[in-house]
Amino acid sequence: MASLLHPFTNLTRLRQNGPTVIARGSGVFVYGADGKDYLEAMGGLWCTALGWGEEELVEAAAQQMRKLSFQHIFGGKSHEPAIELAEALKELAPFPVGKVFFANSGSEANDSQIKFMWYAANARGHTARKKIIARDRAYHGVTLASASLTGLGAFHKSFDLPFDFAVRAECPHYYRGARDGESQEAYCARLAADLETTIQKEGPDTIAAMFAEAVMGAGGAIVPPRGYFEAISKVLARYEIPLVDDEVICGFGRTGNWFGCETFNFQPDSMSIAKALSSAYLPISAVMLSPELTEIIEEEATRIGGLWHAFTYSAHPVAAAVALKTIEIYRRRDIVGHVRKVAPAFQARLTALAGHPLVGEANGVGLIGGIELVADKKSRRNFEAAKGVAAACARYCESEGVIVRALQDDRIAFCPPLVISEAEVGELFDRFERALARTLDWVKAEGLLAS
């Protein structure tokens, strides 16, 4: 603790209480250095889809390390795991893909996307197309460019961000954003009209792309209303603005289909994937580009003498071999089918939480969900942020042996490994409900609840 800079952490509390040191994992559980078990209801950071201790992935990594521990793909070099993985991803993709570019994290994938969108626009002679639309509460990463698209103030403060290419659109959160009596359909139509107004105000010829997550993760595990993506896609198509689908969380079965865009019925021009791509056994991410984007990028690279963008570890052979094995396991064990089988039990326990005095909203899809803790259910009034009610709940959760994630506006996210069984779903929510009861006692004792 004296040497390690802990990110995304309340440092005052860390100094007082020290860290929770996790020593090992097995299935959907991780174990503290003291042996305490925690049901990992966040799959780490929305990523450990196959759970901990998956021997086949360990073996795939070891074999590849022995055979070829490193090979870059610069200057015409290549290797089998990278080629095979690109082919496997093209085959899986729910939209036509020309080529696949590899990076090492979601942030790097999204930074690469931003550069590719500018590159393609420049190649087409659309040199004024520099702005990128992203939504309030979006999370696209923390590197300079991706953090600029992230729509959460905490990631900008004191970092001199966002850069001014980022243009904001509304977050599609029906619970918070809908007007009294407004139907989901009318709400979606209004957001689409607002997007169009923004595009016209900024100037359609100045916009290079729009980024969106199917379900917003770190912004609050917010599920968009049905019809939202259909409505905004029409607007984007009208102005020939490419849609970059950030599937870093939603990809590989999370929402009950291989990709979130299938669940929410939209067709992207480009897609970012990471996390479950290797079940987080090794860092790897990818950008999947439409054939049109691929063609224009390759033409430009040919014209100017090369595509001068990549990372040393782009398509690292060990990470690529692990990702290939991960995809093979997803197929062989029908992980998407498993998600569909356990999701009803998960969603039933999640949405039942809406009956609790602290829970304003409980919503989810597949094996992802979010709840919002409120001071007054009737008026939907939030607690004062400084009280840290969701953070307190997350600490009670830890004490009850379940790991969740506290997010902005007292939202709490659930995103367990996809391999979770129905019995483990029951255990997850039993533990969570005990923690929620303790949170309620604490909130009452502090006098924070509306009377």
**Smaller CB separation from ligand PLP, 50 or 218:** 218
**Smaller CB separation from ligand PLP, 213 or 269:** 213
Least distance to ligand PLP, CB of residue 257, Å: 17
Cα separation of 32 and 363, whole Å? 30
Phi, psi angles (nearest 5°) of residue 344: -60, -40
Least distance to ligand PLP, CB of residue 308, Å: 22
Burial-class residue 71 by CB neighbours within 10 Å (0-12, 13-18, 19+). Answer: middle
Cα separation of 293 and 209, whole Å? 12
Least distance to ligand PLP, CB of residue 148, Å: 13
**Smaller CB separation from ligand PLP, 162 or 360:** 162
Number of C-beta neighbours around residue 374 at 10 A: 23
**Smaller CB separation from ligand PLP, 148 or 439:** 148
Least distance to ligand PLP, CB of residue 176, Å: 20
Least distance to ligand PLP, CB of residue 162, Å: 15
**Smaller CB separation from ligand PLP, 129 or 405:** 405
| C-alpha separations of 60 from 29, 253, 406 in Å | 22, 21, 34
**Smaller CB separation from ligand PLP, 360 or 416:** 416
End-to-end, the C-alpha distance of the chain in Å comes to: 42
Q: What residue type is 154 in one-letter code?
A: A
Q: What residue type is 293 in one-letter code?
A: L
**Smaller CB separation from ligand PLP, 249 or 329:** 249
Residues 254/280, Cβ–Cβ less than 8 Å: no
**Smaller CB separation from ligand PLP, 276 or 443:** 276
Least distance to ligand PLP, CB of residue 289, Å: 17
Burial-class residue 28 by CB neighbours within 10 Å (0-12, 13-18, 19+). Answer: buried
Residues 408/444, Cβ–Cβ less than 8 Å: no
Least distance to ligand PLP, CB of residue 200, Å: 28
Number of C-beta neighbours around residue 125 at 10 A: 8
**Smaller CB separation from ligand PLP, 275 or 431:** 275
Residues 348/428, Cβ–Cβ less than 8 Å: no
Residues 307/223, Cβ–Cβ less than 8 Å: no
Least distance to ligand PLP, CB of residue 222, Å: 12
Least distance to ligand PLP, CB of residue 242, Å: 17
Least distance to ligand PLP, CB of residue 48, Å: 13
Strand, helix or coil for residue 227: coil
**Smaller CB separation from ligand PLP, 42 or 350:** 42
Number of C-beta neighbours around residue 332 at 10 A: 9
Give the binding site for ligand PLP (CB under 6 A). Answer: 45-46, 105-107, 110, 139-141, 213, 217-218, 246, 248-249, 274
Strand, helix or coil for residue 175: helix
Least distance to ligand PLP, CB of residue 356, Å: 27
Residues 415/398, Cβ–Cβ less than 8 Å: no
Least distance to ligand PLP, CB of residue 137, Å: 11
**Smaller CB separation from ligand PLP, 107 or 233:** 107
Cα separation of 435 and 132, whole Å? 41
DSSP one-letter string for 355-404: GSTTEEEEEEETTEEEEEE-SBTTTTBPPPGGG-HHHHHHHHHHHHTEE-
**Residue of minimal CB distance from ligand PLP?**
106
Burial 3-24 (b: 16+ CB within 10 A, else e): eeeeeeeeeeeeeeeeeeebee
**Smaller CB separation from ligand PLP, 178 or 250:** 250
